[in-house]
Chain A
Amino acid sequence: MSVPLTLLGLLERESSYGYDLKRDYDTYFGWGRSLPFGQVYATLARLARDGKVSAGQVEPGAGPDRKRYSITELGASEVEEWLRTPIEPEPHLQTLLFTKVVLSLILGRSARTYLDTQRAAHMERMRQLTELRRMAGSVEALLADHGLFHLEADLRWIDLTEARLASIAKAIENHEEVQP
Chain B
Amino acid sequence: MSLSTFGREGSAGPAVEGRSLVKSFGRTPALNGASVAVAPGEILAVMGPSGSGKSTLLHCLAGIFIPDAGEVYFDGRRTDRLGETRRSEMRRRDFGFVFQFGQLVPELTVEDNIALPLLLGGMARRDASAAARSWLPRLGLDGLGRRRTGEVSGGEAQRVALARALVHHPNVLFADEPTGSLDSLTGEHVMELLVSLTRAEGTTVVLITHEARVAAYADRMVLVRDGQVTVAEPLAVPSNPAEGSAARPHPPSLAR
Contacts A31-B255, A130-B216, A147-B254 aside, 16 further interface pairs with beta carbons under 8 A come to A1-B256, A31-B249, A119-B223, A121-B237, A122-B212, A123-B234, A126-B212, A127-B216, A127-B219, A127-B221, A129-B216, A130-B213, A143-B250, A144-B254, A152-B212, A159-B49
CB pair A116 B230 closer than 8 Å: yes
Cα of A30 to Cα of B252 in the assembled complex, Å: 9
The smallest C-beta distance from A74 to any residue of chain B, in angstroms, reads 25
The smallest C-beta distance from B129 to any residue of chain A, in angstroms, reads 32
Cα of A151 to Cα of B192 in the assembled complex, Å: 20
Closest 7 CB pairs of A and B: A124-B234, A126-B216, A31-B250, A120-B232, A31-B255, A130-B216, A147-B254
Cα of A174 to Cα of B156 in the assembled complex, Å: 55
Q: B49: nearest residue on chain A (CB-CB)?
A: A159
> Does A23 interact with chain B (Cβ within 8 Å)?
no
Interface residue tally for chain B (C-beta within 8 Å): 28
> Does B233 interact with chain A (Cβ within 8 Å)?
yes
Q: Contact residue range for chain A?
A: 20 to 34
Cα of A134 to Cα of B194 in the assembled complex, Å: 13
Q: Name 27 A/B residue pairs within 8 A (Cβ), A-sorted.
A: A29-B255, A30-B255, A31-B248, A31-B255, A32-B249, A32-B250, A33-B244, A33-B248, A33-B255, A120-B233, A121-B234, A121-B235, A122-B212, A123-B212, A124-B235, A125-B237, A126-B216, A127-B217, A127-B218, A127-B219, A127-B221, A130-B213, A130-B216, A134-B195, A144-B254, A146-B254, A147-B251
| Residues of A contacting B216 in the complex (Cβ-Cβ under 8 angstroms) | 123, 126-127, 129-130, 148
Interface residues of A (CB under 8 A from B): 1, 29-33, 116-117, 119-127, 129-130, 132, 134, 143-144, 146-152, 155, 159, 163
